[in-house]
A and B are shown apart, each in its own frame.
Chain A
Amino acid sequence: MRIAFVLNGKKRALDAPPLARLLDLLRGPLGLTGTKEGCGEGECGSCTVLLDGVPVNACLVVAGQCDGRTVLTVEGLGTKDGLSDLQDAFVKEGGAQCGICTPGILMAAHALLTANPQPGEGEIRESIAGNVCRCTGYQRIVESIRHAAKERASRESG
């Protein structure tokens, strides 16, 4: 089936079996390997991307569901030399260790901060509760997100 959608701000169209996993399309023909597979069954969250702004597990979303919609992946947040403020906060505050969970967590956090620019710690923890990180103990992740929110607030007020 022919699928057309907006991927990281650009229109894309490709042929794919309607039941192909979005995760495989991204990592395969679309060449975006930033989205990771940790379990393939919706449990780890490392494949989290935003579908029309909402975090979904790309391992559970099929190609047919994406037609006519927008998809945002970690590659759409920023680049290695031009990191988004959120990505930068993860580097500075120790939010990434091995980094395999990081793209998914960034997407969940990005959705949170878009909807709720000044979340409390409980809201931050809630927003990433579907993303398992085995390295960090989560504290530095929470701090990274909090830090990004704070920086945004001070930028806006200043």
Chain B
Amino acid sequence: MALVGRSVPRADGPAKVAGTARYVDDLTRPGALLGATLRSPVARGRLRGIRRDPAFDWAGVTVVTAEDVPVNVVALIEEDQPVLASDEVRHAYEPIALVAAEDPVRLARALRALTPEIEPLPPVLTVADALARKAQIHGPDNVFATYRISKGDAAQAIASSPVRLTGRYRTHHQEQLYIEPQGMLAFWDANGAHLVGSLQCPFYVHKGVKRTFSLDDAHVDVTQAVTGGGFGGKEEYPTLLALHALLLAKKSGRPVKMIYNRQEDVEATTKRHPCEVTIESGCDREGNLSAVSIKVLMDGGAYVTLTPVVLSRAALHAAGAYRWEHVAIEAVAVATNTPPNGAFRGFGAPQTIWAIERHMDRIARELSADPLELREKNLLRVGDTTPTGQFLKESVGVQRCVEEARKASGWDKKRASLGAAAPTRPVSALLRRSAPGSSAPRKARGIGASVFLHGAGFTGSGERRLKGRVAIDMLRGPSGKKPLFRIRTASTEIGQGTETVFRQIAAEALWVSMDRVEFATPSTSVVPDSGPTVASRTVMIVGSIVERAARDLFARTENERQKGGGSFDDAALRLLAGKEPVVSEKTYETPGDVVWDDETYRGDAYPVFAWGCDIAEVEVDLDTFETTVLGFWAVQDVGKAINPLLCKGQIEGGTLQAIGWALNERLVVEEGRILNARMANYIVPTSLDAPRFTTVLVEDPYSMGPGGGAKGIGELPMDGGAPAIAAAIEHATGIVRDDLPLLPEDLFAARRTGT
């Protein structure tokens, strides 16, 4: 059959291009009201009340406040976040009340007729203020979480190293900016609560609803609508929106649809955590790395949400793709009175990889070494151990990634011929002084690289705790002759290709064509809990369960065929003629040798890592300081590409998000409020900003991966883009930036201060 490894067209493609795929805003129910949210205008304060304008005609308008919430917590890692603020308001845009009305005009008027009465309190707006305990806003010390990782004696080893270097690297917020804003449709009936929405993780929403309304499993149904992008932004946030819509539906007795507009979505939903990383390293004059000490500081925002898990992933990726004998990592996340930060593709790793990659360039600069050679010399290999003591026993394709990227991009030649140091390009002179009327080129070109890794699957004992499940049913086909198969999983299709890839994996294992394998719409009443659609775990972890369930059904049918004869289909029909439904449900089994200790933070942080090398070639306009990406080579070790076209699509899309983070995107936050929450002023890359990508898939298979060795790659491409761009700008202009973003004004400022 050989379906795996083939770029079959995506299964959900025809409906999407025909415009018939139904996203949540395309759905409604008879009698549905529209819902909206009243939000806090201030970063911190005490809620004294909500004034309702007596002149407004409230007939037909439903208003929900904290008093209407049965259990006023959003069930996630900690239960510190209320569904609606009742006492202290902890961030701007925090939900205070909800309204529902028949039509958008009435709704907008009703919202304006409500005024929150808030007595402002002094907010904590920066990480520094949080650490200084300017006000106490979370626990005794405003700290959400702290992790420490250590191997050897870093302090001592750094002190005795011939080359000691220190740097501090900062990264900024990033908005997911999925093009479909968040939305949810809710209703109640005799069977309980029903939700249909734009979401990544049906069972997260399920859990939140059960908790807030004290319902059991059977009385909550959460169904995913076709979802217009997520990137982590629809991981935890939809739970809150679902609770809001359900509250309004309950009180009004009508179905309620809530669709955020763009501004509200940017303001209120989670973003990538801003981060500051300080790195101190020791190596010898030849560039052999020996020791590193890393401090990570993250701004979690006003509530815990997923911050501890993001922080953990940040810490676990902080030492990069390199061999260090001695490592000390300390990671701390604090609370501030800003909208909670949360999941965004990469989940903490892009922040620390930015830092370690910029630091590698710092070392290369100090040693006058070729940055790619320095990296190559120190790459992790099979047989090495990571900072947590994880022994890398297979699938470390990073060396090949570097080699292929070097070749494909023409690194050696470009490194010598482009750049500030190139004799034909006196960029440093150009930078110092503009030369009016001079014909000298006012543009400088350069090339830069990054090398990175991304742990696939949940961190630490996550998968072992989670025990993801998948079921495959054997069903009678429409003709009654050819049985069909139906995959039931909570892993959602959010554009990345889950449906197609799962059908490929199952069809291959069942030896049937793909059109005989269906993908059930993820609905909590229909599918088992496969765990959330996050953490680059869908293909690698859940896909491997799909494969096992499919193999099991195949074996059972084959067994029947050997007993009773006939074809595979005959045997399958005989099985279907029995009383019991023919179904195989499998649970994820963490490989026995994957061991993790949460207490000491030692062991196998991830079942396996995916690896990559990115190379960017840029041109910087020396008058405007605009950067154009002329070429981008993304070479990534994916284990095995189940569907190369979709896989490359993930890499290109993720890489462009990383490039946007570096070159286009800047969230302007003042007094805890976002000043550019619109697409007109929060700028993401367009087709004209995007480079032409050369994407190369390296396949160093992971023995436990499905389809012959697939690894998770959803997030990997987010990790390498920004540092590769920064390195290329440095090569082109000599401007060294340790902080993101790299907008023209940032480069201009860096040129002036020489930092």
Contacts and interface: CB of A to CB of B under 8 A. Distances in A.
A134 B229 contact: yes
| A33, A73, A97, A140: residue with the most chain B Cβ atoms closer than 10 Å | A97
B229 A75 contact: no
B226 A99 contact: yes
Interface string A63-107: 000000000011101111101000110111111111111110010
A130 to B, nearest CB: 8
B693 interface: yes
Contacts, number: 176
Interface of B: 7, 9-10, 12-23, 25-26, 176-181, 226-231, 261-262, 494-497, 645-646, 648-649, 652-657, 678-680, 684, 686-688, 690, 692-693
A91 B18 CA distance: 10
Contacts of B655: 137
A98 B494 contact: yes
Given A33-B26, A39-B678, A136 B649 contact: yes
B22 A132 contact: no
Contacts of B261: 40
6 contacts: A36-B228, A73-B19, A75-B18, A87-B17, A97-B495, A138-B687
B653 A74 contact: no
Determine the main DSSP class of A at the interface with B.
Answer: loop
Contact of A83 (B14, B176, B231, B656): B14
A40 B262 contact: yes
Contact of A129 (B178, B684, B686): B686
Contact of A39 (B653, B654, B679): B679
B10 A91 contact: yes
A98 to B, nearest CB: 3
Interface of A: 27, 32-41, 43-44, 46, 73-75, 77-81, 83, 87-88, 90-103, 106, 121, 124-126, 128-142
A37 B494 contact: no
A134 B693 contact: no
Given A80-B14, A96-B13, A139 B693 contact: yes
A73 to B, nearest CB: 7
Contacts of A83: 14, 17-18
Nearest to B682: A43
Nearest to A91: B13
Contacts of B687: 124-126, 128-129, 131, 133, 138, 141-142
A83 to B, nearest CB: 6
B19 A103 contact: yes
Contacts of A141: 687
A96 B228 CA distance: 11
A75 B305 CA distance: 41
A133 B179 contact: yes
Contacts of A75: 18-19
Most buried by A among B15, B22, B497, B649: B649
A20 to B, nearest CB: 11
Given A38-B180, A98-B180, A132-B179, A137 B690 contact: yes
A74 B657 CA distance: 27
Given A41-B678, A92-B9, A134-B179, A97 B20 contact: no
